[in-house]
Amino acid sequence: MFAEKPLRSFGRRKGRNLRPTKQGLFDTLLPSLQISLPESRISNPESRTWLEIGFGGGEHLAHMASLHPEVQFIGCEPYVNGIAGLLAHIDKNKLSNIRIYSDDARDLVAALPDNSLERVFILYPDPWPKTRHHKRRIVSSEFLSELARVMKPGAELRLATDSADYATWMLERLLANKNFKWLAKTCDDWLNPPAEWISTRYEQKALAGIPTYLNFVRTIRKTVY
């Protein structure tokens, strides 16, 4: 658990006003999918549960959920317009295996039971490029230890960023954490996206640099804090 409430890792919560159709989904569909803490059973340790932190417009999360209907997905995203985008994908594709948490992912992870996640995605998190804002980065030593607690042995952690500085930051903290092992063997392993990847609108329009894809696995050992 975190010793004290960290600064939030995200910026604004809302952009343009939602169109009537998406506002309707926000009002009618979201309540049945929303996770509100505290909740007695967010994830069943016996189930296959995958978590995406910061799902943006929801393209990747909806894509993975459609490919793996047997998996329970949890998506974390505080941005209202992003949530509305995911709801549109859920409604269009009749997806029934996604739940949504619309606040700080660190609070959700803290509430999850041990060994409950089979895969975690952190794709293009806010890089907070200014040095004084680095403490807001979601990938921190403290958060990685919490992720290690809730990830099953052998579970995958997939990350992507278009910030070279943030990629270095991620690697420094992951390689220093004995709970994770980097699966890369050649440079192609971090220059090419993983299997089942779908290019999102962010990737197509807003990339600031060359993407870096990092794939780690939860080691089969007792959690080291």
Whole-prediction pTM: 0.88
Mean pLDDT by 10 residues, the chain (225 residues): 50 63 88 87 78 95 97 94 94 96 94 94 92 92 96 96 94 97 92 88 69 94 58
pLDDT at residue 15 in the model: 53
For domain 37-218, give the fold: Rossmann fold (3.40.50)
Q: What does the pLDDT read at residue 25?
A: 87
Helix (H) or strand (E) holding 148: helix 141-150
- Asked if 116 and 43 touch (Cβ cutoff 8 Å), the reply is yes
The CA–CA distances, whole Å, from 79 to 11, 60, 66, 70, 132 equal 9, 16, 22, 27, 23
Q: Please indicate whether residue 103 is annotated as part of the active site.
A: no
Q: Which position among 103, 107, 126, 189 bears the catalytic label?
A: 126
Specify the pLDDT at position 14.
Answer: 57
